[in-house]
């Protein structure tokens, strides 16, 4: 599981930098300011949760595979996809029905932090 999450970290990190650069240089003046801000929020949350996912990788390596860590990683992964992905799509002119997906992604990110909290509470070496 750690290797899979580490591969996702590399993918999310690289794409986060590329998407951030695209937003800063390719979207300015081409999309409304509120959409550009939403796009930037997507990049910011993607990068923060990529680092959180990396922490999960380190904890799995140290503590072993635990359900709470596996869930935390899964929630962070799908949170990035739904939250950041929907913001990117909306900023780039995607369908409006994507709007309600954004809070689902945010809720998954919160669930990832809660699962990480459970892992910490149950930690024993």
Q: Over 70: is that where the pLDDT of 125 sits?
A: no
The residue assigned the tokens 């635990």 is 66
Instruction: Give the residue extent of every domain in the chain.
Output: 2-121
Kindly state the average pLDDT of the residues 98-107: 96
11, 46, 63, 121 from 80: Cα distances, Å:
12, 5, 24, 25
Query: Which one is predicted more confidently, 70 or 123?
Result: 70
């Amino acid at each position: 599981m750690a290797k899979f999450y580490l591969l996702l970290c590399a993918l999310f990190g690289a794409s986060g930098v590329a998407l951030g650069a695209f937003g800063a240089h390719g979207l300015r003046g081409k999309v409304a300011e509120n959409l550009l801000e939403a796009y930037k929020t997507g990049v910011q949350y993607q990068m923060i949760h990529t680092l959180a996912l990396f922490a999960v990788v380190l904890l799995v390596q140290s503590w072993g595979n635990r359900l709470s860590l596996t869930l935390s990683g899964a929630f962070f992964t799908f949170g990035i996809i739904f939250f950041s992905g929907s913001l990117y799509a909306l900023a780039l002119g995607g369908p409006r029905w994507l709007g309600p997906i954004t809070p689902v992604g945010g809720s998954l990110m919160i669930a990832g932090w809660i699962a990480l909290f459970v892992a910490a509470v149950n930690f024993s070496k």
